[in-house]
Structure 1
Amino acid sequence: MKKIIGFIPHVIAVFAAAVFLDSLRYKFTNAPETQEIFGRLDGWAGTLGAGGLFSQTGLFSQYTIGTAELFASALLLIGIIPALRRLQALGALIALAVMSGAVSFHLFTPLGIDPNNDGGGLFMSAVIIWVTSLVMLVIRRKELTGLVGDIGAALVRKD
């Protein structure tokens, strides 16, 4: 049983990375599906006085989100190597952050859960990655704590 549980983070890492990497072809090529999603979000942001936030040059553009997904994928996959396990925790943290935004925007903006008429598949993928990233963080909590501690030690001067 312990061996099976030991494989769970790797399955999560490969699944999340596959979904993220597959989505990059839409985000980085400015596909119509991506234009629809980010266009709706930018229109909504405009009604709040933050127009351009989700535009192609905006802070939360498809390129920014895609780059975060690319980094998360790389860290999740590199973290399969035992000596680099901490990076898997960092990748899961980035994935959780990105998917928290995705799920929130699907639920609480005019985007809705089915913006591309795919039966909610995009939304469900976001929810599944959000949940599995949270599971990964629970499993890798020691690695994440160690990573945070090392970063803190590097930033705080000890005399």
Structure 2
Amino acid sequence: MKTKSIINALLKIIPAIILLQTLFFKFTAAPESVYIFEQLHMEPWGRIGLGIVELIVAVLILIPKTTWLGALLGIGIMLGALFSHLTLLGVVVQDDGGILFILALVTFIFCLILTWQRRFEIPFIKNLF
């Protein structure tokens, strides 16, 4: 039972940390972050706006009653990030070795798992059963 609790905690903590650690770069206009959003034609409003949304998502994931909502929103954000990497940015951005892509993929997978685990907490699904 203890192992299950640790795994469940890590499923929430890891994507929240990934989302939160990128905020520094977005909010301080780090050159890598500015470059990415310039390529997406979303600089600066997309960078700042997405940073605010990612902060909200990270908090929602960590709150037990809203984990399902944070995870669903996280799926959406990470789909956008993964799509951007695969279509415009490339898997490797400015010689990062693909780290940003891998972090987006890990966050996406963890959010998928969290959503599946909490699927019956989602109001429109809960009402079906």
Residues 69 and 22 (structure 1 numbering): CA distance in 2 closer, same or farther, change over 3 Å? same
Higher relative contact order (CA 8 A, sep 6+): 2
Query: Shift of the alpha carbon at 1:108?
Result: 1.3
131, 140, 143: which is aligned to 2:121? 143
Query: Shift of the alpha carbon at 1:114?
Result: 1.1
| 1:30 corresponds to | 29
Which amino acid in the other structure matches residue 83 of structure 2? S
Which amino acid in the other structure matches residue 55 of structure 1? E
53, 56, 64: which is aligned to 2:44? 56
Which amino acid in the other structure matches residue 63 of structure 1? I
Which amino acid in the other structure matches residue 29 of structure 1? T
For the pair shown, the structure with the greater C-alpha radius of gyration is 1
Q: Unpaired runs of 5+ in structure 1? A: 43-53, 150-159
Answer 1 or 2: which has greater helix percent: 2
Residues 28 and 34 (structure 1 numbering): CA distance in 2 closer, same or farther, change over 3 Å? same
Aligned-pair identity (%) = 32
Query: Shift of the alpha carbon at 1:21?
Result: 0.7
73, 98, 104: which is aligned to 1:120? 98
Q: 4+ runs of 1 displaced by more than 4 Å?
A: 146-149
Query: Shift of the alpha carbon at 1:8?
Result: 3.0
Query: Shift of the alpha carbon at 1:146?
Result: 6.4
| 1:92 corresponds to | 71
Q: Distance in 2 between matches of 1:63 and 1:125?
A: 19
Q: Unpaired runs of 5+ in structure 2? A: none
TM-score for the superposition, normalised by structure 1: 0.73
Query: Shift of the alpha carbon at 1:147?
Result: 8.1
- Does 2:11 match 1:12? yes
Q: Is the 8 A contact 1:13 1:76 kept in 2?
A: yes
Q: Is the 8 A contact 1:36 1:115 kept in 2?
A: no
Which amino acid in the other structure matches residue 135 of structure 1? I
Q: Is the 8 A contact 1:95 1:133 kept in 2?
A: yes
Q: Distance in 2 between matches of 1:3 and 1:147?
A: 29
Q: Distance in 1 between matches of 2:126 and 2:53?
A: 19
Q: Distance in 2 between matches of 1:124 and 1:139?
A: 22
| 2:53 corresponds to | 68
User: What SS does the aligned partner of 1:119 have?
Assistant: coil
Instruction: String of CA shifts for 1:16-69, please: whole Å, max 9, x gaps.
Output: 111111100000111101011111111xxxxxxxxxxx1213xxx011111111
